[in-house]
A = this chain, B = another copy of it.
Amino acid sequence: MDTLVTDLGHTKTIQHGGDPKAVEARFPAPKDGWLDLSTGINPVPYPLPPVPGKMFARLPLQADLQALLDAARRAYGVPDRAAIVASPGTQALIQMVPTLFAPSSVSIMGPTYGEHAPAWSVAGHRVEDVRSICAQAAQPAPFGVVVHPNNPDGRTQTVEGLLAFSEELHDRGGVLVVDEAFADVTPELSVTPHAGSDGLVVLRSFGKFFGLAGVRLGFAVTTPDIAQRLSAKLGPWAVSGPALWAGTHALDDRDWTEAARVRLKSDARRLDDILQRAGFKIVGGTDLFRLGESDDAPAVFEKLGQAGILVRPFDYQPRWLRFGLPGTQADWARLEAALNA
């Protein structure tokens, strides 16, 4: 019976990385364990000190939440006029934001992360899949979604372009959702410091950059009005004690953040070199994942899978594979060996 519940209808159709179980029917379980490069999660997690027992035991306190929100404001450069809401993962916000508004229509810049379109659709909105922010602006839809930088191709927009588009959507009675799930590695491109203006909802993901996807923590940075409606939907104690504690510590660690950005940038170049030597053209990505294109992509996917290495294929573009970064030197060597086998 649990399969009805855990094998959600929509996870059958939306492709995700991060769970080898999904491919176990296809590839044999490797004796050294899976090397999962199918996500864009930092493979070197923030070195979290032990979480105090009280964060597990007691109900999360308002003071704990406030400390987290203050740390997030500093880390993301949230302006005073904007409000910030914490949630148990960005996914919860992706599903909730469309329910704040009466059914209308939304343009989504694609191809992109697969959870946005069904969330708007389930909430009753008509979904228009468009290929650029200019094509979005030409649509009459009052709502828009831009993943920025985009997943999987890493496309970025100018801050000015995003702000102008959000103002336009506000004039149409809608909002622009900018999902900055991977923006931590390119803070100079982020629109978060401009949040709080009408018509703009920015989503930030804690777990990807800090390599702590299991804690489930995300943020919406937006106007006080929209933030209050999201908070009411989330209800009290939405974020767990361990997540509040982990987020507060990691977001305030500037030294680790800077060092991680430098390392991820270097590792992304290293991955590009390996992929190019294996015949891939690098067609996009961020410092948390790289998008390679090759006629041999399906064969490489198969070869890597047989070697216990999971990467991310795309049903809409079979010539693409998305690669997360290996973490240890052994994992780097394992990927390189498997690509060259």
A residues near B (Cβ < 8 Å) are 1-2, 4-11, 16, 18-22, 36, 39, 41, 45, 48, 50-51, 53-63, 65-66, 69-70, 80-85, 88-89, 91-92, 94-95, 115, 122, 207, 211-216, 224, 227-228, 231-233, 235-243, 246
Report the Cα distance A336→B271, complex, angstroms: 65
Contact of A95 among B55, B65, B214, B233 (CB under 8 A): B233
8 tightest A-B CB contacts, nearest first: A214-B241, A18-B59, A216-B240, A45-B57, A59-B213, A4-B224, A88-B88, A56-B214
**Chain B, Cβ-Cβ closest to A73:** B2
With A39-B59, A41-B59 already in contact, the answer to whether A69 and B5 are too (CB < 8 A) is yes
Report the Cα distance A57→B39, complex, angstroms: 12
Q: Is the CB of B231 within 8 A of A8?
A: yes
With A21-B62, A61-B21, A63-B21 already in contact, the answer to whether A214 and B228 are too (CB < 8 A) is no
Nearest CB in chain B: distance from A234 CB, A: 8
- Cβ contacts under 8 Å, A238 to chain B: 88-89, 91-92, 216
Most chain B CB neighbours (cut-off 10 Å) among A2, A239, A246: A2
**Chain B, Cβ-Cβ closest to A42:** B57
Q: Is the CB of B6 within 8 A of A231?
A: yes
**Chain B, Cβ-Cβ closest to A48:** B56
Contact of A240 among B7, B10, B62, B242 (CB under 8 A): B242
With A18-B59, A59-B214, A122-B232 already in contact, the answer to whether A240 and B237 are too (CB < 8 A) is no
Contact of A232 among B8, B56, B88 (CB under 8 A): B8
- Cβ contacts under 8 Å, A211 to chain B: 57
Report the Cα distance A227→B242, complex, angstroms: 27
With A21-B63, A66-B2, A238-B92 already in contact, the answer to whether A58 and B214 are too (CB < 8 A) is yes
Nearest CB in chain B: distance from A72 CB, A: 10
- Cβ contacts under 8 Å, A240 to chain B: 88, 214-216, 240, 242-243
- Cβ contacts under 8 Å, A212 to chain B: 56-57
Q: Is the CB of B58 within 8 A of A213?
A: yes
Q: Is the CB of B62 within 8 A of A6?
A: yes
Given contacts A214-B241, A216-B241, 12 further A-B contacts (CB under 8 A): A1-B224, A8-B228, A11-B236, A45-B53, A57-B211, A58-B214, A59-B214, A91-B235, A92-B238, A213-B237, A216-B237, A216-B239
